[in-house]
Structure 1
Amino acid sequence: MGIVVAIGETSRTAGFALAGVRVWAADDPDLVRGRWRALPADATLVILTPAAAAALGPEVLGSAEPLTVVMPP
């Protein structure tokens, strides 16, 4: 089984750590893109804040793997 990663603003992602999610805080677009590129091969689910999703753009979000979801605003 793979791991779950949450990427985005600290205030929106910190609580996921309580459920065992790896939280990678990224408060600016460049850091979001860097975190995305650093995803481990066994990441099966990535949870993004809306701002993180906007920083990555639709071409990244449309990929089949890893499964990516965007939090509601």
Structure 2
Amino acid sequence: MTHVAAIGERQRVIGLATAGVVVLPAENPEAVRAAWSGLPAEVGLVILTPAAAAALGPGARDAQDPLTAVMPS
């Protein structure tokens, strides 16, 4: 079964846990990159806050797997 994860500032991602999303709070670029590199293999979609997306840069987000979506600002 494929899971959904969210990476970014705690205040922006914590509410997604109520929908079954794996929430990975990350308050700085280093934490974002650590959360990204530690994603479980069963994660098929990652929701990123704008700050988390900026920390990862376009290279990581261009990958086919997992899919990514960036929250609106």
Same fold (TM over 0.5): yes
User: Residues 18-67 of structure 1, C-alpha deviation per residue, up to 9 Å, x if partnerless?
Assistant: 10001000000000000000001111010000000000000001111101
Per the normalisation by structure 2, the TM-score is 0.98
State yes or no: 1:7 paired with 2:21.
no
| Unaligned ranges ≥5, structure 2 | none
Q: Which runs of 5+ in 1 are unaligned?
A: none
The 4+ residue runs of structure 1 with deviation greater than 4 A are none
SS in structure 2 of the partner of residue 57 of structure 1: helix
Separation (CA, whole Å) in 1 of partners of 2:59 and 2:70: 14
Superposed CA RMSD in Å reads 0.5
**TM-score normalised by structure 1 residue count:** 0.98
Equivalent pairs counted in the alignment come to: 73
